[in-house]
Amino acid sequence: MSASPNPPNLSTPPTPPQRSDSSNFAARADAFLTWLSTVIGTELAAALTWVKDAMADTKTASDSAGSSATAAAGSATTATTKANESAASATASATSATTASTKATEAGSSATAASGSASTASTKATEASTSATTASTKATEAAASAALAATNAQNTGYAGVTSTTSLALGTGSKTWAVANPKAFAVGQDVRVVNTVTNYMDGQITAVTSTSITVTVAAASGSGTYASWTFTVYPRVLAKFFPTSAAPMPAARYSHAAASLPDGRVLVCGGAAGDDYQPTSEAHIYNPVTNTWAAVASMPTSTEGAAAASLSDGRVFVCGGQNSMGQALSEAHIYSPTANTWTAVASMPAANAAHNAASLSDGRVLICGGLNASGSMSAAYIYSPTANTWTAVASMPTSRYHHAAAALSDGRVLVCGGRSFAGGTNPAVGLASAHVYNPSTDTWASVASLPKVTVNHAAASLPDGRVLVCGGFTGSSAQQSVEAYVYTPAADAWTPIASTPNQSINRHAAVGLPDGRVFVCGGQTPNEANGFTSAAFAYNPTI
């Protein structure tokens, strides 16, 4: 493009004609107009020429700019097209990648589903195996029940065999003179009864037409009597099954136990080992797999503590005594979810050999026990929500080593145990029983146990009754194999099948979800060191 023309130079216009005088005004005016015309014409022509040249240059520049703009627009269009093509290609690639990712996800989901199916199949197989084991156990129990039923069906063949031989209650070989032994034969288990609380259990070793000889393994009561009745003793056990539960990992007694929401049982503390020292060990029993598993130990080694299940699935444990024989006031809560123990508010007074029962509102009743002053009648309620203790009405009788269990109507049954005034006073065994009503904060007397019972265990049954088993009547020589069921509606105790072939005390009993009662550990004269790891189950429905 050529350079723009310069505008005409008007800075030095031609000199106009000069005025000479006023007389020649017309001539001078004509001369001025002529001059002006000349100046304007020349300058105007120059200006017009400049404008024309400037417009030509502008058109040339415009044409050039237009061509450049058109070329630039074409390039931009081409670039945009390329960009769109690239974007389309990128979109296609992203779509392909997304599709590939989706396929991979689907493949992963399929693999996960397959793994889940395999896991489910494995779980089902385990459940099937467990069900088969349970069915086998039930079959064994049913077979035992059928055997008992068959035996009982023959009772008419045994009825009326009596004796007036004067004999003292006790173990060992004893012979009774009888008028007719009827169907009794060598090898049978029998019970020779004086009263409901005075009897001897054993096996027949000799039978003649006039006598029956029995090797007595266990006796209830004391004294010498001359009135006896022979009955079939169902030691084949239609209700207690020693093979139904795996033994504890270690023998112990005076331990605490409580049920967990999933049906397992927490067992903690107690005395164990050859030195009979308190332990802090804790284990959980799984009735489905019939196995034990160690869990977090208690913060303190203790025996004679009390435990109760809480409504949130945790377990409350309090009191007991340490290795120095000192009663403790500390309390803890075990969380099966976290497998941890947490300290909570201590008891109002140090206590051991007391008992605990869960109340329907989620609180826990603690009653009785033993400290340096003797047995206690005091009762307290612990609130896990507020973490506080509240004193409630005391028991009518102070007691320790008693048993307690919740009733279906929200009340709590407390029975047996010992009362001790302290010092050199002798401890007195108890058969009395009372029921605590948390709604009215009162205690009421109910039917006493059939006999004095100490260090026994109690558990609630699904139908509202309470099972009480084991214990002893005041000395280790009189440990009991007996078990009773208390019926609140009738306010009555009913003897049932005995514990499996051994007397036990300071054991634990806990209800299971299937309605059975799990019993474990305890002291027994049948073991070399005096205590056992045995566990068994009571079935109230057979």
Residues 206-259: tens digit of each pLDDT: 999 999 999 887 777 789 999 998 876 543 333 555 445 788 999 999 999 999
Q: Which helix (H) or strand (E) holds 27?
A: helix 25-153
In whole angstroms, give the CA distance from residue 162 to residue 490. 31
In whole angstroms, give the CA distance from residue 262 to residue 289. 13
Is 82 within the bounds of a domain? no
Q: How many domains does the chain have?
A: 3
Query: Which residue matches tokens 């307690």?
Result: 404
Q: What is the DSSP letter of 287?
A: T
In which domain, by residue range, is 407 found? 240-538
CATH number at residue 488: 2.120.10.80
Q: What is the DSSP letter of 248?
A: P
User: Any alpha helices (H) in 154-232, and if so which ranges?
Assistant: none
CATH number at residue 179: 2.40.30
- Asked if residue 446 and residue 324 are part of one domain, the reply reads yes
The 3-state DSSP class for residue 452 equals coil
Residue 63 has pLDDT above 60, yes or no: no
Residue range 308-334, pLDDT digits in tens: 999 999 999 999 999 999 999 999 999
Do you know the residue count of the chain? 542
Is 27 within the bounds of a domain? no
- Asked if residue 499 and residue 354 are part of one domain, the reply reads yes
In whole angstroms, give the CA distance from residue 505 to residue 482. 11
Residue 129 has pLDDT above 70, yes or no: no
Is 96 within the bounds of a domain? no
Per the CB < 8 A criterion, the answer to whether 385 and 362 are in contact is yes
DSSP letter string, 48-100: HHHHHHHHHHHHHHHHHHHHHHHHHHHHHHHHHHHHHHHHHHHHHHHHHHHHH
Is 271 within the bounds of a domain? yes
Q: Pick the last residue of a domain from 204, 232, 260.
A: 232
Residue range 170-210, pLDDT digits in tens: 888 999 999 988 878 887 778 888 886 688 878 889 999 99
Q: Extract the runs of DSSP E, i.e. beta strands, from 361-516.
A: 364-367, 370-371, 374-375, 379-383, 388-392, 403-406, 412-415, 418-419, 428-429, 433-437, 442-446, 457-460, 466-469, 483-487, 492-496, 508-511
- Asked if residue 266 and residue 189 are part of one domain, the reply reads no
Q: Pick the last residue of a domain from 203, 232, 261.
A: 232
Residue range 271-283, pLDDT digits in tens: 987 777 999 999 9
- Asked if residue 245 and residue 228 are part of one domain, the reply reads no
Burial of residue 376 (number of CB atoms within 10 Å: 0-12, 13-18, 19+): buried
Query: What pLDDT is stored for residue 72 in this prediction?
Result: 45
Residue range 512-542, pLDDT digits in tens: 888 889 999 998 765 556 788 888 888 776 5
